[in-house]
Amino acid sequence: MGSCWEFLEFSQKMKPQGNSLAGGVMLMLVSGLQIGWIMDNRVDKLPWTEGHSDLLVNLAAVAFYASAVGGVYIAAMTINRLTKTNIYFTSLTFAIVASALLIVQPNNFYIVLLTRIMIGFAHGYSYLTIIIHASEIMHQKLRGMIIAALQVCILSSMIVTSSFAATMMEESMEAFQYVGIIGLIYCILGFIFTLIFTRESPVKLMKEKKFDEAMKIMIQVRNESSETWSIRNEYNELKKMVEEDDETTKNIFENGNTRPLGLILLLKIAFVISFNYGLNYIRLKYTSSFITQEGHNLSSLTFLTVRILVLIFTMFSIEFNGRKIHFLISHAATAVLLIAFAVLVFVQPSNFTFGYETIQFLLEVAGGIGIGVVSDVYSSEAFNTVKKTRSLCFVTAIEFILHGVIIFTTYKVEASSTFDGIYVMASGVVVLAITYLLYKTLPETAKMSIRQTRNEFLQ
């Protein structure tokens, strides 16, 4: 109990670090509102799709991730030239205009397409930035918790959108105006928080030889009034890391960077394979217990709620118990459960609802334990400071491209139970194979400095 209270007191003292990321956190909440629209099986029933071909609706769904790839690329090109405040402000500007348009014209297909493109760009631009920002400004005892919180933000907004889509979409256009209003509120708060709380990364300042300013920032975000020995030690280690990294090239395939690049890429692929539009579309076809008397399908809302409740626990556990145990349990359990679901589809194509839904509840528990979160946390810790932006751009772009390809190829697929079983079985086998490949090679990085975590990945 004592250690728990000590951790809470320490977290409270370190609040300025989390506050520095508040603008990016608000953007993740806005992104979740858009992602929630497509992680469902009712996209074609949304009001703005009326009168438009399946191809156009499919392109609108894909547009978010296609634009996010562009945002990630621009972030990689500008993050070392612009301040984090400027990047967050730019992303928030895109998001606030998009949210306002959605309020005015929630039923206009082309407005919805434009909002998805704009918020997709803002997501990619801010996502890469906040991962790097968090890795370089957060204390090593809090880094995993704060980065895990980004998934909580995205999922919480997905739940909001899912609840609107389930209960209001066929009755009123107001549901999507509410999505715009909520997004607008998040953006306004993001502007305020960014203006007041955001502090630059000490690592970026060290790269620019602004050492005094870097020390000043470290004192501020560690909530101290003057330099302490622990701050001096952190400062010296960061400075040494920057000096070591400056001796390497920017080529992400040199200086031993292929190993961390491959490990993070496999983690990203496992996350997409286990949580994507096509898989969710199939899963929800075999769920019927959460349809209300009014005809509202609450399946997606129910499952996402289970996942986020477990994920909130994971936020804290990933620091106390480490990354690797979360990786093993979440990935292995997800793989086994997907294979079990596929076997059930082959044996009982439609008449065993209890079995399907039990497996799906367990899948959400397994997902909440760490799949997705682990890839984000490890992404922040794996790369040296010279290669980090381009490495993260590479793996994140592939993640977003995979999401887009899966949406485009599985949108409204009305296939047989045989196809469903093969799709889910293949997903489970891929995740299981990745789990086997990574278990002995992923390092344990909890409570390590980013210099130490970088070295662990290079071994």
Q: What is the DSSP string of 348-407?
A: SSSS-HHHHHHHHHHHHHHHHHTTTHHHHHHHHHSS-TTTHHHHHHHHHHHHHHHHHHHH
Please report whether residue 243 resides in a domain.
no
For residue 371, what are the CA distances in angstroms to 269, 406, 431? 11, 18, 10
More reliable by pLDDT, 256 or 398: 398
What would the mean pLDDT of 396-410 be, rounded to a whole number?
93
**Nearby residues of 328 by Cβ (< 8 Å), 6 or more positions away:** 435, 439
Please report whether residue 261 resides in a domain.
yes
Q: What one-character-per-residue DSSP string does 319-360 give?
A: HHT-HHHHHHHHHHHHHHHHHHHHHHHHHSSSS-HHHHHHHH
For residue 253, the SS3 value is coil
Global pTM reads: 0.93
pLDDT of residue 50: 78
Please report whether residue 233 resides in a domain.
no
More reliable by pLDDT, 158 or 9: 158
Please report whether residue 238 resides in a domain.
no
**Mean pLDDT over all residues of the chain?**
88
What is the distance between the alpha carbons of residues 21 and 5, in angstroms, rounded to a whole number? 24
Q: Phi/psi zone of residue 227: left (φ > 0), alpha (ψ -120 to 50 degrees), beta? A: beta
What is the distance between the alpha carbons of residues 237 and 452, in angstroms, rounded to a whole number? 9
Q: Are the CB atoms for 132 and 383 separated by under 8 Å?
A: no
Please report whether residue 1 resides in a domain.
no
Confidence of residue 441 (pLDDT cuts 50, 70, 90): very high
What would the mean pLDDT of 140-169 be, rounded to a whole number?
84
Q: Is the pLDDT of residue 1 over 50?
A: no
Query: With pLDDT > 70 as the criterion, what percentage of the chain qualifies?
Result: 91
- Convert the pLDDT of each residue in 239-268 to its tens digit: 999 998 888 888 999 888 999 999 999 999
Long-range Cβ contacts of 220-228 (<8 Å, 24+ apart):
220/16, 221/14, 221/16, 221/17, 221/20, 221/137, 222/14, 222/16, 222/17, 222/139, 223/13, 223/14, 223/15, 223/16
Considering 45-49, 313-317, 431-435, the range whose residues carry the highest mean pLDDT is 431-435
Six-digit token string for 173: 């256009």
CATH classification of the domain holding 356: 1.20.1250.20
pLDDT of residue 227: 87
Please report whether residue 266 resides in a domain.
yes
**341-347-351 Cα angle (round to 5):** 85
**Nearby residues of 294 by Cβ (< 8 Å), 6 or more positions away:** none
Domain ranges, residue 142: 15-199+248-458
Confidence of residue 399 (pLDDT cuts 50, 70, 90): very high
More reliable by pLDDT, 38 or 400: 400
Six-digit token string for 112: 């919805």
> How many other C-beta atoms can be found within 10 angstroms of the C-beta atom of residue 119?
31
pLDDT of residue 90: 96
pLDDT of residue 58: 85
Please report whether residue 234 resides in a domain.
no
> How many other C-beta atoms can be found within 10 angstroms of the C-beta atom of residue 288?
13
What would the mean pLDDT of 179-183 be, rounded to a whole number?
91
Looking at the 3D structure of the chain, how many domains does it have? 1
pLDDT of residue 392: 95
Q: Is the pLDDT of residue 412 over 80?
A: no
pLDDT of residue 295: 57
What would the mean pLDDT of 348-377 be, rounded to a whole number?
86
Q: Is the pLDDT of residue 178 over 90?
A: no
Q: Which of 142-151, 174-183, 428-437 has the lowest mean pLDDT?
A: 174-183
pLDDT of residue 297: 65
pLDDT of residue 40: 62
Chain center to CA of 61: 18
What is the 3-state composition of the chain as percent helix, strand, coil, each rounded to the nearest 5? 75, 0, 20
Q: Is the pLDDT of residue 162 over 60?
A: yes
Torsion of CA 459, 79, 374, 274, to 10 degrees: -120
Please report whether residue 415 resides in a domain.
yes
pLDDT of residue 335: 96
pLDDT of residue 328: 95
- Convert the pLDDT of each residue in 15-30 to its tens digit: 888 899 999 999 999 9
- Convert the pLDDT of each residue in 270-299 to its tens digit: 999 999 988 988 888 887 666 655 656 677
What is the distance between the alpha carbons of residues 158 and 210, in angstroms, rounded to a whole number? 40
More reliable by pLDDT, 269 or 179: 269
